[in-house]
């Protein structure tokens, strides 16, 4: 791996997870406030995360197995916030506040 | 609904931990064989009697140690017991001086001083040999270790740690053996400058 | 107050004091990069670093023990079994830490023999403390385990949280036994050493802090036991499910078989997933309570825990965990950047949250807020993030110049260290370190005075 692609790849990988986190964070706030705009913002962040995943697959010298892991993880990152939200709702709905 | 039942998730936690721990134990047993001296990745201590090199392996796609012909350390061929004694002593010195709290070994340790994985193969010893008038690389290394504070080629100097001749020789033996361990290519491109920095 | 809780206060006080020692030692370590001749021939980088990393481990351990000694008597409904022994051992523990530190500073090295390992310095990272002290740590932890297990046995009352805690204490204690051997074969030495280090900080400690956060959430937000236990089990499953084989991300380059590159890289890459879940959970809890709480510093430090864990462990870790990247990042300031961020987020913030909660109970405060804790919170977090960012820049430069271009020779190392991005990163790190120190001073002052300074404004926000 060349020194430039080392830094590019690492930064893309960090951005990849950071954007997934951003999507999850904004999605949760959107659901808390029932705010459509925020929910759309969260999906834009996920879109950017997806673009980062595509960049990793297309432009980094990682092997194909790792690129497959990136794609699979992106699917997981998409699902985690809504599933976690629904599960949080369900587990808390029986609580007496 | 069992998803709401802590007992369901408790069972999940227990089974996950059990399965992962079992896999870890199996892989550990396999790895321990590979990393024992004479195993697939770690040479016998008597490798210090031989020439060590580090070359790119096309089949594997990474650098790998190459064990060559006879090249006794300090001009003396050692048997298995003597080699083991030297390695034991070398590690004892390394621990007693807390070398790993300035240097790294296989990249583990502290980052204030150079990585020592391939220190035996470092091109700098040729220069140090010339400066000190040492006849061999290992003699140059010993001279350095006994008075490191006199080596001021850079802003950062190694302090004098009261290392004796015997201790220095043991460290050098240790570093030569370490250079022969197969580290899956770490550090990459050792000694092959790719381009000007 | 239970005697166990009085002991908790002692442990938490000692923890905060050692946090200070860690910070000073860290500042000294950082200064050597700027002025390598500082104290040359008197005290060197390795001793400063040993003090820095060892006090880090101990202050966090003391923080965990303090938190557990605080929560457990209420959990069990009685005083802990063997508390008198634990009280004595606290002072023995503190005295041992002091003696070990003084010997590190004054004696520094012995000869290359067993005497040095038994009495001066064992020279293995994080577990440099001489063997006599390591025996002491085993005794302290064994009595701690006895306090917990013995009380569970006597009461016959085991909640989900205490069950997880008790099961976790066993590997915690057993793993520490790697603090004793001096294996000559470096590959084998590091192999077992990583069992201790990784399976402490990326497994058993995660479970410990999970238990502590479960109790904290119950008290801070009034969350029900059923919910915290449910989520504790999920967290244990996910964190240990990824972390146990994630141990393999330390087995790329130490002479172990190459299948660890795949296994370690894969499971390590999965480790951020549960951390995202934790962020969502934290935001959910904050949101459903409308960011209102009777203890604002405890609440904010808990949020910092969730976010810091995700960023420091998840994002920073993911950057360097894949083997092709790690080959170049391994053993550089990039690692240091990740380490500081991850430890801060995963553990330090959580312990600080508990400390504020305990203070609220001890001082009988209906509502905890103020100005000073915000300054401390800002300075500590911005200081830490600033250090991490600076170290990242230095780490990039080092990986670039020393590893990728230079091939990691001695000359390449020095070229990397002298690279102007590296040097500026080190200076910037030191400056943010000073900010962190200021935050620590503010923290200590706040802990000593919060709730004591002015009449508690019980009406102003307590009634939510």
Q: What is the pLDDT of residues B43-75, one digit of tens each?
A: 999 999 999 999 999 999 999 999 999 999 999
B197 touches chain C (CB under 8 A): yes
User: Measured between CA atoms, how close is B56 to chain C, in angstroms?
Assistant: 13
The domain of B118 spans 45-179
Residues B8 and B82 in one domain: no
Residue B54 belongs to some domain of the structure:
yes
Position C212 scores a pLDDT of 96
Position A1 scores a pLDDT of 81
Query: How remote is the C-alpha of C275 from its chain's centroid?
Result: 16
Q: How many domains does chain A have?
A: 1
Pick from B60, B178, B197: which is nearest to C415 by CB?
B197
User: Measured between CA atoms, how close is B84 to chain C, in angstroms?
Assistant: 9
Chains near A, with 3+ CB pairs < 8 A? B, C
Position B197 scores a pLDDT of 38
- Report ipTM (2 d.p.): 0.96
299-318 in chain C: CB under 8 A from chain A: 310-311, 314-316, 318
Pick from C273, C311, C329: which is nearest to A80 by CB?
C273
Residue B39 belongs to some domain of the structure:
no
Q: What is the full per-residue pLDDT of chain C (464 aa) written as tens digits?
A: 999 999 999 999 999 999 999 999 999 999 999 999 999 999 999 999 999 999 999 999 999 999 999 999 999 999 999 999 999 999 999 999 999 999 999 999 999 999 999 999 999 999 999 999 999 999 999 999 999 999 999 999 899 999 999 999 999 999 999 999 999 999 999 999 999 999 999 999 999 999 999 999 999 988 889 999 999 999 999 999 999 999 999 999 999 999 999 999 999 999 999 999 989 999 998 888 888 889 999 999 999 999 999 999 999 999 999 999 999 999 999 999 999 999 999 999 999 999 999 999 999 999 999 999 999 999 999 999 999 999 999 999 999 999 999 999 999 999 999 999 999 999 999 999 999 999 999 999 999 999 886 554 444 444 44
Which chain B residue has the Cα nearest residue C244? B20
Position B150 scores a pLDDT of 86
Q: Which residue has the tokens 């008290």?
A: C219
Q: Do B3 and A3 lie within an 8 Å CB cutoff?
A: no
Q: Do C281 and A13 lie within an 8 Å CB cutoff?
A: no
Residues B136 and B58 in one domain: yes
Which chain B residue has the Cα nearest residue C236? B13
Q: DSSP secondary-structure letter at A1? A: -
Pick from A6, A17, A18: which is nearest to C325 by CB?
A6
Which chain C residue has the Cα nearest residue A61? C324
Q: Do B4 and A94 lie within an 8 Å CB cutoff?
A: yes
Tokens of B45: 């201590």
Residues B83 and B6 in one domain: no
* CA pair distance A9, A3, nearest whole angstrom: 10
Q: Which long-range contacts (CB under 8 A, 24 or more apart) does A53-56 make?
A: A53/A16, A55/A12, A56/A9, A56/A12, A56/A13, A56/A16
Position B131 scores a pLDDT of 87
Position C157 scores a pLDDT of 87
Residues B6 and B87 in one domain: no
Residues B10 and B102 in one domain: no
Residues B147 and B125 in one domain: yes
Name the burial class of residue C455, with classes exposed (0-12), middle (13-18) and buried (19+) by CB atoms within 10 angstroms of its CB: exposed
B4 touches chain A (CB under 8 A): yes
* CA pair distance B104, C125, nearest whole angstrom: 10
Tokens of C53: 């990393």
Q: Do A17 and C273 lie within an 8 Å CB cutoff?
A: no
Tokens of C259: 């299948």
Residues of A in Cβ contact (< 8 Å) with C341: none
Residue A50 pLDDT > 80: yes
Q: Do B3 and A90 lie within an 8 Å CB cutoff?
A: yes
32-71 in chain C: CB under 8 A from chain B: 32-33, 36-37, 40-41, 44-47, 49-50
Residues B30 and B51 in one domain: no
Residues B29 and B50 in one domain: no
User: Measured between CA atoms, how close is C426 to chain A, in angstroms?
Assistant: 19
DSSP class per residue in C78-113: SPPTTHHHHHHHHHHHHHHHHHHHHHHHHT----SS
- Reply yes or no: is the peptide bond before residue A53 cis, omega within 30 of 0: no
B194 touches chain A (CB under 8 A): yes
This prediction has a pTM of: 0.95
Q: How many domains does chain B have?
A: 2
Q: Which helix (H) or strand (E) holds B109?
A: strand B108-109
**C-alpha separations of C93 from B128, C68, C71, C127 in Å:** 47, 17, 21, 15
Which chain B residue has the Cα nearest residue A2? B194
* CA pair distance B3, C116, nearest whole angstrom: 55
Chains near B, with 3+ CB pairs < 8 A? A, C
237-266 in chain C: CB under 8 A from chain B: 237, 240-241, 244-245, 247-248, 250-261, 263
Within 10 angstroms of residue B197's Cβ, the number of other Cβ atoms is 17
Position B151 scores a pLDDT of 74
* CA pair distance C361, C366, nearest whole angstrom: 9
* CA pair distance C170, C207, nearest whole angstrom: 12
Confidence of residue B192 (pLDDT cuts 50, 70, 90): low
- The values of phi and psi at residue A43, to 5°, are -70, -30
Pick from C287, C315, C329: which is nearest to A18 by CB?
C315
Chain A positions touching chain B (beta carbons under 8 Å): 2-3, 87, 90-91, 94
**C-alpha separations of C158 from C76, C153, C215, C365 in Å:** 8, 9, 14, 30
CATH of the domain at B113: 1.10.760.10
């Amino acid at each position: 791996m060349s020194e430039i692609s080392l830094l590019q790849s690492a930064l893309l990988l960090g951005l990849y997870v950071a954007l997934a986190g951003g999507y999850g964070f904004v999605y949760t706030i959107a659901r808390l406030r029932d705010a459509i705009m925020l929910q759309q913002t969260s999906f834009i962040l996920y879109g950017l995360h997806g673009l980062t995943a595509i960049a990793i697959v297309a432009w980094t010298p990682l092997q194909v197995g790792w690129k497959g892991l990136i794609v699979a993880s992106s699917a997981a990152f998409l699902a985690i916030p809504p599933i976690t939200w629904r599960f949080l709702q369900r587990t808390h709905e029986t609580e007496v506040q | 609904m069992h998803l709401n039942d802590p007992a369901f998730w408790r069972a999940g936690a227990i089974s996950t931990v059990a399965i992962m721990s079992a896999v870890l134990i199996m892989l550990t047993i396999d790895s321990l064989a590979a990393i024992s001296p004479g195993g697939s990745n770690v040479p016998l201590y008597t490798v210090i009697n031989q020439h060590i090199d580090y070359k790119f392996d096309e089949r594997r796609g990474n650098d790998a140690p190459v064990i060559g012909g006879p090249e006794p350390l300090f001009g003396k061929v050692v048997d298995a017991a003597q080699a083991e004694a030297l390695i034991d002593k070398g590690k004892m010195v390394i621990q007693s001086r807390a070398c790993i709290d300035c240097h790294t070994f296989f990249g583990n340790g502290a980052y204030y001083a150079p990585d020592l994985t391939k220190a035996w193969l470092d091109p700098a010893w040729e220069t140090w040999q010339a400066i000190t008038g040492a006849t061999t690389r290992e003699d140059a290394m010993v001279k350095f270790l006994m008075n490191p504070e006199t080596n001021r080629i850079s802003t950062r100097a190694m302090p004098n740690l009261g290392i004796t001749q015997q201790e220095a020789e043991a460290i050098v033996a240790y570093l030569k053996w370490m250079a022969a361990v197969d580290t899956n290519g770490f550090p990459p491109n050792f000694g092959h400058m790719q381009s000007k920095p | 107050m239970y005697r166990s809780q009085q002991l908790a206060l002692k442990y938490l006080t000692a923890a905060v004091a050692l946090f200070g020692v860690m910070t000073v030692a860290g500042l000294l370590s950082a200064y050597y990069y700027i002025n390598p001749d500082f104290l040359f021939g008197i005290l060197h980088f390795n001793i400063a670093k040993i003090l820095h990393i060892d006090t880090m481990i101990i202050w966090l351990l003391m923080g965990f023990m303090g938190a557990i000694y605080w929560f457990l008597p209420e959990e069990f409904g009685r005083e802990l079994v063997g508390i008198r022994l634990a009280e004595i051992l606290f002072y023995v523990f503190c005295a041992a830490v002091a003696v070990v530190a003084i010997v590190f500073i004054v004696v520094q090295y012995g000869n290359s023999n067993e005497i040095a390992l038994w009495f001066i310095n064992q020279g293995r990272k994080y577990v440099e403390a001489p063997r006599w002290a390591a025996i002491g740590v085993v005794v302290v932890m064994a009595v701690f385990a006895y306090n917990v297990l013995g009380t569970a046995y006597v009461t016959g009352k085991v909640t989900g949280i205490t069950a997880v805690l008790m099961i976790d204490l066993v590997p915690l204690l057993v793993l520490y036994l790697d603090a004793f051997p001096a294996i000559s074969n470096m590959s084998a030495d590091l192999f077992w050493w990583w069992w201790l280090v990784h399976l402490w900080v990326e497994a058993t400690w995660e479970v410990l802090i999970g238990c502590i956060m479960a109790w904290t959430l119950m008290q801070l937000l009034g969350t029900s036991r059923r919910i915290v236990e449910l989520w504790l089990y999920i967290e244990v499953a996910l964190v240990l499910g990824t972390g146990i084989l994630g141990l393999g991300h330390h087995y790329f380059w130490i002479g172990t078989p190459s299948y660890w590159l795949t296994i370690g890289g894969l499971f390590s890459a999965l480790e951020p997933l549960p951390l995202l879940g934790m962020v969502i959970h934290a935001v959910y809890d904050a949101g459903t309570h409308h960011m209102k709480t009777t203890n604002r510093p405890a609440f904010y430090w808990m949020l910092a825990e969730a976010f810091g864990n995700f960023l420091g462990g998840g994002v920073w870790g993911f950057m360097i965990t894949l083997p092709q990247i790690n080959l170049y990042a391994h053993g550089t300031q990039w690692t240091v950047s990740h380490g500081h961020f991850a430890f801060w987020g995963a553990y330090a913030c959580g312990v600080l949250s508990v400390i504020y909660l305990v203070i609220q109970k001890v001082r009988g405060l209906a509502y905890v807020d103020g100005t000073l804790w915000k300054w401390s919170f800002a300075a500590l977090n911005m200081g830490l993030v600033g250090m991490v960012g600076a170290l990242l820049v230095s780490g990039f430069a080092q990986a670039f110049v020393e590893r990728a271009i230079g091939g990691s020779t001695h000359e390449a190392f020095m070229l990397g260290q002298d690279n102007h991005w590296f040097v500026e990163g080190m200076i910037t790190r030191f400056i943010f370190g000073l900010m962190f120190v200021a935050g620590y001073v503010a923290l200590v002052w706040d802990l000593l005075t919060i709730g004591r300074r002015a009449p508690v404004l019980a009406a102003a926000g307590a009634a939510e």
